[in-house]
Structure 1
Amino acid sequence: MGQKDTVKTIRLWGKSLVDLIFPDLCTVCRNRLVTGEHIICLECRMGLPRTNLHRLQPNAIHERLFSIGHPIERATSLFHYFRENNYARLIHDTKYRGRPIVGRTLALEHATELLQTGFFDGIDAIVPVPLHFFKRFRRGYNQAEEIARGLSSATSLPVINALSASYHRTQTRMSAHQRLLNARNAYHVADPSAIDGLHILLVDDVITTGATLLSCIEAVKKSCPSTRISLYSLAITQLA
C-alpha cells in the first residue's frame, strides 16, 4: 500500500469514528444519514413539498407582490413552507440554529436543476436581502447571503451585497399589515452603480406576505429605475 493509500485509509477510519460518535442526521426527520446522503435523507428528499413555480411565469409569487406596481420578471421558490411541518426545520436550521450549510446546499442543488430550464438566462447578478449589522453580528451570518452563495456556486453568477438594512423588529409573529409597515423604508441601495441597469436575482429565505421583498424592490427601483428584478426564495408560505 502506497503512502497516499495509507493516508486515505486513515482519513476514512477517522471519519467513520467521528460518524459513530457524532452521526450526521437528516435535517427533516432527524434519522441518521447513510453513506451518500447529505443534509436530507432520501425518503425526506422524495417527499419535499416542491412548488415547481419556475414552470409557470407569472405565478403565485407575482400575485403576492402585485401591489408593488413594478414588474417582476421571473420568480420561484423551492418548496412550500408550513410552520408545523417537519420540512420547516430546513428553514429553522438555516436561519436560527447556526447551520447555514443547509440553505446553501439546498440552493446549490436547486439551482443546478433550474439551469436546465433557462431560469437564470439573462440574469447578471445575485443580490441577497440584507440583515441589519446587529442582527448579522448576533447570528454570525446572513441566511439570504448563504442561499445566494449556493445559487452562485451552481451558476457562477456574482453575489453583490448591494442593499443595506436599517434596524427594524423581527417580523416572525406579525400580521400581514404589521409586516408591511415594519418593512417600509427599511432597505436602501448602498451603491446604486453596482447594480444599475443589471438584471438582478433578489434572494430571500422565505416569502410570507412579501413585505420584505416589496420594500427591497421599492428601494432598488427608486435608486436604479432601469434595473430588472427576478426573485428566488427557498420557501414560500401558504396565505390563509
Structure 2
Amino acid sequence: MKQLNLVLILFLCIGITKITAQSDTKADVAMIKKNLADSNANMKKYEWIETTKVFVKGEQKSAKQKQCYYAVDGKLTKVDIGGGAEEKKKGGLRGKIIENKKEEMSDYAKKAIAKIQTYLPPSSEKIQKVYGAGKTTVQILEPNTKFKLNFPDYNETGDNLAVAINKPKQKIMAIDVSTAVDDSKEKVVFNITYSDLPDGTQYAATTKLDAPAKDLKIVIENSGFKNAAGK
C-alpha cells in the first residue's frame, strides 16, 4: 500500500512538472511575440545605417552601407549610400576564370543576404504557428535565468529558428537560424545579436552568417540610430 502511494505521488509530481513546463513555455512564447511586436512598431520611429561586409576565405571582399527607414506606407526602405572600391580586373584566361568565380560567389552572397531578410524581423505569427503545432522545445542555458526556445520548420521544412531569452529581464538576447540557400544539404547558420535603444526598443544589432561549404561569411551591422525626420 505504501509503495502504491509512492507511485501515485510520483506520477502526480510528474504531471504537475509537465503542466508547469507547458505553462512556462507558453509565457515565454508570449513574451517573445510581445517584444517582437513592440520592436517592429517602435522601429518605425527611427532611421539608421546598415553596414554589410562580405568575407571569402577570411578576406573581406566588399563593404556596403545603406540608409534604412520606414516610408509613409510603412514599408522598410533601404537606400545605398556607399561601398568598398572594386578590385581591378585581371586580364587573360586566368583573369576570366577569377571573374567568373567572383561573379558566382557574388550571386551566392546576394542569395544568402536575401535569405537572411526572410527571417528578419522574425514573425510572431510563424512563431505562434510552430508553438501551436506542439513543435517548440526549450533548452536551459542558465537555470532560472536564460533559456533557448527552438522553433523548427519556422520558414521552411528542415530549418530552425532558436530564440535565446533572459527571463527575469523579459528580453530577447539572440536568435540563431539554421537553414539552406541553394543546396538543402549545405546548411548555413546565422546568429543575430539583439541590443536595446535608449527607449527600450530591441533591435538586431549584428547578424553573422556562416556558409562553411562556400568559405563565406557575411556580417550585417545596424548602427547610428536617430529619430526619423517628422517622427
So what's the TM-score if we normalise by structure 2?
0.29
Query: TM-score, length-normalised on structure 1?
Result: 0.29
1 or 2, which has the higher helix percentage? Answer: 1
Give 1 or 2: higher strand fraction.
2
- Which entry has the higher C-alpha Rg, 1 or 2? 2
